[in-house]
């Protein structure tokens, strides 16, 4: 029993347990990728000492992550929820982990070979759970249970397991089995469903017209599947369902959380908010107000408020003043401790055996083979093997951000392979010199690129924070322009299946083209290897480079 009669410090210590704050996976403050959002070590240590019960980690390598989890546990001196947003494999966020194709690939496979897709989805969960646990995490913020019913959805898109509720339900159940078998907690997100929006809740609040019947027909189904498979937690979305609660977005809505998720869908696990720093919430509600509203609405855990200490104090006041019944605090504390008890084993692994020093790599050859298999099962090509080596060509690569990703480096297959065939790399990204001119019919400024054959590689997918900026780029017209001049040597799309489908419509029949749902090196290697014709007598350099990629 928690007493409200004790000191305010004692209450704050208990309430703090329900907060999950954000930290970098790197050891030093100077290494943080997002210093505005990631606590400094000093702040983090203080909050942990004050009782904060969870940390979400971003950035750093797998080795650093493991170190970091140890440091954080030492600072807290008690069990913690340690989580990360590794929907597509540990390697999506932490170099050295395995990076898998996005879930939509499994939805695509499911439509052809459902049994195979189910097996792959279970292995997908197992691969993530295993690596997460070995690095010290005990809570994976997946599966995404949103049904991507709008191809223009800017933020879910390829992160969804499918475009219909049955596909998503079947695959997320398999994923969840694999994940939880590894001794880590799961999280179904983003309740009641972020799949049918054209607005990214990182940037503003999406408003949905759906009524309860529609939700029951589509959006709820995967969440029900997750709940019946005993998912550990559900994350609320920052979504305004105006027909159900005209005032509050789901994260702050008693109707959505308590009446629908808890009562109607009968979920008794942990409810966690999506990050409160996201602009859908933070534009309207301060940290304190948002935390109190979310908790009053029925959430157990408060994720990433901008000012955690203010939010903790505000929640304590609301409890002391009786605005929120004490019983709610007891329930949430109980749910959190229950969840932690389930994953107690994972801490032993971390303390017991230091896999990195022992020289056992995090990523096993089975993991690598699995990543390979997923790419090869979701690869699409047209006119495979027909791109030949030429004397002078351009490899035009379009990426969102030349800095912040592990997608491209000087060793990336998307750069090295075309260079072996005579295609010189030119990067096109929002912070580079523009390749565009003011001509709707001929938008590519070819004088800036060279009037030579161009291999076009587009890294485009829905991504949080990016909005739909790529939709403003006239790639259809650019492809038509290159074709009209006989300068399109080939086309590759990494990511969006919708863009791929759209571009295929205008592509001439003879053009070699390829698509992978993934953007990571494995997708690059397999897609390009399929498109290029074998080289005669590669040099030693080429051979050893090729070796690297296989």
Which residues form the interface with a copy of itself (CB under 8 A)?
26-36, 41, 45, 60-64, 67, 70-71, 74-75, 95-96, 356-359, 361-363, 401-404, 408-411, 415, 425-428, 431-435, 445, 448-449, 541, 544-545, 548
Exposed / middle / buried, residue 364 (Cβ in 10 Å: 0-12, 13-18, 19+):
middle
Closest to 377 in 3D by CA, of 96, 43, 141, 101: 101
Which pair of tokens denotes residue 348? 């032993």
CB nearer to a copy of itself: pick between 64 and 200: 64
Q: How far is the CB of 29 from a copy of itself (least distance, A)?
A: 7
CB nearer to a copy of itself: pick between 216 and 545: 545
Catalytic residue IDs: 202, 274
CB nearer to a copy of itself: pick between 64 and 163: 64
Which pair of tokens denotes residue 49? 């000492």
Strand pairing partners for 460?
Answer: 495
Crossing angle of helices 104-112/114-135, nearest 10°? 150
| Angstrom distance (rounded) from CA 380 to CA 456 | 16
CB nearer to a copy of itself: pick between 213 and 357: 357
Q: How far is the CB of 288 from a copy of itself (least distance, A)?
A: 16
Q: How far is the CB of 361 from a copy of itself (least distance, A)?
A: 5
Which pair of tokens denotes residue 42? 């000093």
Q: How far is the CB of 42 from a copy of itself (least distance, A)?
A: 10
Judged by DSSP in three states, 60 sits in: coil
Instruction: Calculate ∠ Cα 304-188-199, nearest 5°.
Output: 65
Q: How far is the CB of 151 from a copy of itself (least distance, A)?
A: 28
| Angstrom distance (rounded) from CA 158 to CA 152 | 11
Kindly list the strands in the beta sheet with 270-272, ordered across the sheet, starting from the edge strand earlier in the chain: 187-191, 233-236, 270-272
CB nearer to a copy of itself: pick between 152 and 541: 541
Q: How far is the CB of 370 from a copy of itself (least distance, A)?
A: 14
- Could you tell me if 182 and 126 are in contact, meaning their C-beta atoms sit under 8 angstroms apart? yes
Radius of gyration of the chain from Cα atoms? 24
- Could you tell me if 421 and 382 are in contact, meaning their C-beta atoms sit under 8 angstroms apart? no
Would you state the torsion angle of the CA atoms of residues 443, 449, 451, 453, taken in this order, to the nearest 10 degrees?
-100
CB nearer to a copy of itself: pick between 9 and 548: 548
H-type alpha helices, 136-261: 165-181, 212-217, 220-228, 254
């Amino acid at each position: 029993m928690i007493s409200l009669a004790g000191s305010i410090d004692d209450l704050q210590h208990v309430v703090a347990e329900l907060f999950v704050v954000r930290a970098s996976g790197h050891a030093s403050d100077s290494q943080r990728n997002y210093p505005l959002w990631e606590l400094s070590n000093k702040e983090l240590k203080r909050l942990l000492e004050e009782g904060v019960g969870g940390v979400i980690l971003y950035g750093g390598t797998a080795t650093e992550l493991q170190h970091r989890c140890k440091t954080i546990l030492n600072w807290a001196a008690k069990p913690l929820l340690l989580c990360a947003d590794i929907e597509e494999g540990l390697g999506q966020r932490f170099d050295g982990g395995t990076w898998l194709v996005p879930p939509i690939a499994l939805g695509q496979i499911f439509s052809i070979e459902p049994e195979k897709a189910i097996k792959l989805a279970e292995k997908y969960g197992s691969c993530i759970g295993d690596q997460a646990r070995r690095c010290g995490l005990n809570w994976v913020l997946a599966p995404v249970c949103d049904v991507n019913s709008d191809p223009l959805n800017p933020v879910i898109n390829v992160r969804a397991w499918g475009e219909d509720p049955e596909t998503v339900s079947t695959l997320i159940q398999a994923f969840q089995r694999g994940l939880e078998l590894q001794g880590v907690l799961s999280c179904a997100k983003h309740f009641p469903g972020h799949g049918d929006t054209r607005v990214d809740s990182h940037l503003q609040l999406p408003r949905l017209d759906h009524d309860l019947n529609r939700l029951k027909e589509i959006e709820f189904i995967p969440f029900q599947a997750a709940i019946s498979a005993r998912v550990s937690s559900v994350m609320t979305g920052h979504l305004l369902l105006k027909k159900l609660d005209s005032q509050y977005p789901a994260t702050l809505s008693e109707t959505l959380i308590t009446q629908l998720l808890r009562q109607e869908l009968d979920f008794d696990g942990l409810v966690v908010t999506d990050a409160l720093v996201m602009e859908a919430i933070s534009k309207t509600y301060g940290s304190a107000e948002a935390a109190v509203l979310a908790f009053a609405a029925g959430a157990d855990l408060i994720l990433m408020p901008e000012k955690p200490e203010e939010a903790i104090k505000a929640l304590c006041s609301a409890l002391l003043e009786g605005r929120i019944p004490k019983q709610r605090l007891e329930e949430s504390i109980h749910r959190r401790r229950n969840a932690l008890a389930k994953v107690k084993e994972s801490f032993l692994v971390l303390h017991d055996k230091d896999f990195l020093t022992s020289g056992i790599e995090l990523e096993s050859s089975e993991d690598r083979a699995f990543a390979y298999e997923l790419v090869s099962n979701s690869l699409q090509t047209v006119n495979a093997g027909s791109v030949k080596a030429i004397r002078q060509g351009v490899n035009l690569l379009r990426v969102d951000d030349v800095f912040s990703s592990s997608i491209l480096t000087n060793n990336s297959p998307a750069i090295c392979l075309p260079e072996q065939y005579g295609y010189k790399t030119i990067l096109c990204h929002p912070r580079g010199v523009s390749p565009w001119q003011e001509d709707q019919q001929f938008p590519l400024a070819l004088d800036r690129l060279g009037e030579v054959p161009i291999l076009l590689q587009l890294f485009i997918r829905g991504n949080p924070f990016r909005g739909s900026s790529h939709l403003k780029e006239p790639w259809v017209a650019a492809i038509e322009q290159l074709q009209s001049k006989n300068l399109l040597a080939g086309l590759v799309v990494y990511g969006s299946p919708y863009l791929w489908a759209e571009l295929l419509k205008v592509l001439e029949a003879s053009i070699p083209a390829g698509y992978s749902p993934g953007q990571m090196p494995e997708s690059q290697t397999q897609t390009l290897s399929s498109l290029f014709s074998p080289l005669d007598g590669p040099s030693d350099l080429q051979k050893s480079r090729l070796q690297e990629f296989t």
